[in-house]
Amino acid sequence: MHMTAKIFRSGVPAMLLAVLCFSLMSAAQTSPINATIDASKTGAPISKNLYGQFLEHGGNIVNEGVWAEMLEDRKFFNPVTSKAPEQPANPGGWRRPPLRRWSPVGGDEVLTMDTKDPYTGDHTPLVKLSASEAHGVQQTGLAVRKGKAYTGRIVLAGTAGAVVKVTLSWGSEAADRQTITLRGLGSAFRKFPISFKAQGDSDDAQLEISGTGSGSFRIGAVSLMPADNIEGFRAEVIAALKQLRSGVYRFPGGNFVSSYEWRNGVGEMDKRPPIYDPVWHAVQSNDVGTDEFLALCRLLGVDAYITVNAGFGDAWSAKELVEYTNGAVTTPMGKWRAANGHPQPYHVKLWGIGNEPWGDYQMGSMSTEQYELKHNMFAKAMRSVDPSITLIAGGAMPDVMTGANQSKRIGGKFVPDYLSTADWSGHMLAHCLDNIDMLSEHYYSSSDMHTDLKLEKKVNIGPQPLIEWERAPATQVRVKYEHYQEYLKRIPALKAKPVPIAIDEWAYMGGGPNSYKVIPAYAWAFHEMFRHSDLFQLGAFTFATAMMSETRTEATLNPTGLLFKMYRDHFGTIPVNVSGDSPQPRPLYPAGGDQPAVNPGSDTYPLDVSAALSEDRKTLTIAVLNPSDSKQRMKLAVMGAKPGDSGSLWQMAPSSLDAVVAVGKKPEVVVEEHRLGALPDTIDVAPFSVNIYSYPVE
């Protein structure tokens, strides 16, 4: 009654009010829902790549989220002065901690930035020496742990006789530091190894590089990592992400890729120039480039999906990147790859041409007609190197073109006509089909924003009933399925050459970091992809780092990571038919743009049920989602297969939607395993729980 009264006072239209009241009453129903699983009716296999992840060089997502480097600006992109630099702009409310920086030791007057002969980039710190006082640079804010070893290197040049000391300190006492003394500097840059072992815990440790003597010394680059890093990656992050068996990783962007020069990210790491990324307004060290990403894929056991720069980039550069990764050692780029320590081709199959080229915010944006030509040029050039690659085109169906207000910009209509230049995906499929193997689609669901087709803008609709809140990501999957059906009607060639969808960016903009609240929503999105497994064949969640609760020294799977792992480990691969006697309610809003004609979900409202056989068809799995805040009862019948006498249940059912997993604290969300007898005829489904039943079948 309290919720209903609030709805009446809010002035919600009568039709919407009726739907919301039906939703509230249905969620609290006491009569059991009837569901039938028919294992004889199967769909296309569910691709392992639906569980994929996305990594973008956005701010510190890669450089600190997965890479083990502890130092900020280790190649001195910014001048070293005592004055703190202005914090960079934060596009889109991007959360970024204050930048750690280098500051002078001995005052500003002892340090200049040498632009005549920099080691890399535009300049290199040059420190004027004194015989009586240490001069140099320092950086604070490092995180170290007691008993842990740290290793790295420093690139130095300087006057003969100069003595340089590198000190790691983790406290204020004399015993809270360790110093390495380096001699033998010369006019040419030379690399010196450094190593430390911390004897205390600190999140504000300091690295100081200072020298004494006469003349000067220069610092080309410096690196410090935990000694247990795995090929440069954080060991604890690799351990967490490896559990997911994600299928595929997409890299390096995202918006970032549209101004990215891939050649800056290969070769000797310390010599790779640091650059300013104009997209996310951050300094990029270029430490994690193509070879490092492919090493990460190998470490995690996933396929690589590389997006090429079709913004400021050109077809020739994209062709050379394909040759660098896949070409024989006898090719120019293959020879360069071998010189960089990787003689064997990587055989990368998945290649995206551009990122969100439909957006006017994208670097290098252009008209639909011009981009159509550009896509075909890229495809031709890239396939000339390796005809076997899978080309993924940057798309945006009417849901995206409406929601991002790009349709009106291009074609004058808030909702585009199918196959018009304002329907980016439709136009690309109609004009570039021969050069498209998969279609990239993105979506970011919002908890309180609705695209109003009548007002032609997004409006804030405020808090929603829990079921509708949890439904939002699955709704975006459903609407893309419906748009694709319209393409099949309008593009005859698409029936002869179906183009599957890669939802290679997706997430829910709500719920809070590491919170359970988004978990039923993500499970529902999975179910909707499974229902159309012939169409949805790749996913890349934004971001892989969102699978973890992490600090700078620790990482563990958070609720989202636990959900992905649970489905990947325990849900089947051959979807089977699910029917029921409780249809989902009609959508709250008129169909069009980003609003579907039919709500996602099985006919088991308020539950959503998905089922699948294992690859060998010897195990039946049934996923039951309860997105409501009340217990539900369901009668379950199985046809086309006979479940065995015993099985298992994997369940996520915390006591609160706001439950979290945080490093260093007892997890409030776990995946529980229960051993069961015969599959029960009636099951009770806990509020906002996600459940996977698994039974051997005859």
Whether the pLDDT of residue 435 is over 70: the answer is: yes
Average pLDDT over residues 283-305: 97
Residue 364 neighbours by CB under 8 Å, 6+ apart = 258, 259, 310, 311, 312, 313
Give the 3-state secondary structure of 56-87. CCCCCCCCCCCECCCCCCCCCCCCCCCCCCCC
Flag whether 181 is in a domain: yes
Flag whether 549 is in a domain: yes
On whether the pTM is more than 0.75, the answer is yes
Instruction: Report the distance separating Cα 575 and Cα 43, nearest Å.
Output: 5
Residues 519 and 620 in one domain: no
Flag whether 454 is in a domain: yes
Flag whether 324 is in a domain: yes
pLDDT of 88 reads 60
Flag whether 13 is in a domain: no
Whether the pLDDT of residue 572 is over 90: the answer is: yes
Beta bridge partners of 313: none
Residues 433 and 562 in one domain: yes
pLDDT of 10 reads 35
pLDDT of 448 reads 84
Residues 468 and 365 in one domain: yes
Burial of 511 (0-12, 13-18, 19+ CB in 10 A): buried
Whether the pLDDT of residue 8 is over 60: the answer is: no
Q: How confident is the model at residue 447 (pLDDT cuts 50, 70, 90)?
A: confident
CA atoms within 13 A on the CB side of 246: 32
More confident residue, 619 or 60: 619
Whether the pLDDT of residue 648 is over 70: the answer is: yes
Here the CATH number for the domain that contains residue 597 is 2.60.40.1180
Instruction: Report the distance separating Cα 405 and Cα 424, nearest Å.
Output: 13
Flag whether 74 is in a domain: no
Least Cα distance to 567 among 503, 602, 537, 523 occurs for 523
pLDDT digits (tens, 9 = 90+) for 187-239: 999 999 999 999 999 999 999 999 999 999 999 999 999 999 999 999 999 99
Residues 52 and 39 in one domain: no
Least Cα distance to 275 among 293, 267, 292, 287 occurs for 287
pLDDT of 523 reads 98
Sign of CA dihedral 250, 253, 255, 260: negative
- % helix / strand / coil in the chain, to the nearest 5? 25, 30, 45
The label of the residue with tokens 């990764």 reads: 325
Return the number of other C-beta atoms located less than 10 Å from residue 64's C-beta: 17
Rg (C-alpha) for the chain, rounded Å, is: 28
Residues 531 and 435 in one domain: yes
Residues 297 and 425 in one domain: yes
What is the maximum span of the chain, computed from C-alpha positions, in angstroms? Answer: 88
DSSP 244: T
Burial of 145 (0-12, 13-18, 19+ CB in 10 A): middle
List C-alpha distances in Å: 202 to 68, 146, 173, 179. Answer: 17, 8, 13, 17
pLDDT digits (tens, 9 = 90+) for 579-631: 999 999 999 899 999 999 999 999 999 999 999 999 999 999 999 999 999 99
Amino acid at 684: D
DSSP 301: T
Beta bridge partners of 209: 137, 166
Percent over 70 (pLDDT), the chain: 94
Q: How confident is the model at residue 458 (pLDDT cuts 50, 70, 90)?
A: confident
pLDDT digits (tens, 9 = 90+) for 269-292: 999 999 999 999 999 999 999 999
Domain that holds residue 34: 29-43+578-696
pLDDT of 79 reads 95
pLDDT of 9 reads 31
Least Cα distance to 470 among 584, 612, 635 occurs for 584
Burial of 400 (0-12, 13-18, 19+ CB in 10 A): buried
Here the CATH number for the domain that contains residue 382 is 3.20.20.80
Flag whether 70 is in a domain: no
Here the CATH number for the domain that contains residue 110 is 2.60.120.260
The beta-carbon contacts of 329-338 under 8 Å, at least 24 apart in sequence, are: 336/266, 337/266, 337/291
pLDDT digits (tens, 9 = 90+) for 10-53: 334 443 444 444 444 445 556 899 999 999 999 999 999 999 99
Residues 108 and 194 in one domain: yes
Residue 6 neighbours by CB under 8 Å, 6+ apart = none
End-to-end CA distance of the chain: 49
Flag whether 84 is in a domain: no
Final residue belonging to a domain, choices 570, 587, 620: 570
Q: How confident is the model at residue 4 (pLDDT cuts 50, 70, 90)?
A: very low
The answer to whether 198 and 148 are in contact (CB under 8 A) is yes
pLDDT of 463 reads 87
Residues 453 and 307 in one domain: yes
Residues 598 and 649 in one domain: yes
Residues 658 and 600 in one domain: yes
Residues 512 and 470 in one domain: yes
The answer to whether 384 and 319 are in contact (CB under 8 A) is yes
Least Cα distance to 207 among 217, 218, 188, 194 occurs for 194
Q: Three-state SS for 484?
A: helix
Average pLDDT over residues 456-460: 88
Average pLDDT over residues 329-358: 98
pLDDT digits (tens, 9 = 90+) for 112-163: 999 999 999 999 999 999 999 999 999 999 999 999 999 999 999 999 989 9
598, 599, 603, 609 alpha-carbon torsion, rounded to 10°: 130
The verdict on whether omega for the bond into residue 254 sits within 30 degrees of 0, i.e. cis, is yes
pLDDT digits (tens, 9 = 90+) for 170-191: 999 999 999 999 999 999 999 9
Mean pLDDT for the chain overall: 93
Give counts: helices (H), strands (E), the chain.
14, 33
Sign of CA dihedral 242, 248, 253, 258: positive
Average pLDDT over residues 443-455: 88
Least Cα distance to 277 among 494, 485, 59 occurs for 59
The answer to whether 372 and 432 are in contact (CB under 8 A) is yes
Whether the pLDDT of residue 3 is over 80: the answer is: no
Final residue belonging to a domain, choices 548, 570, 592: 570
The total domain count for the chain is 3
Final residue belonging to a domain, choices 506, 537, 570: 570
Residues 585 and 439 in one domain: no
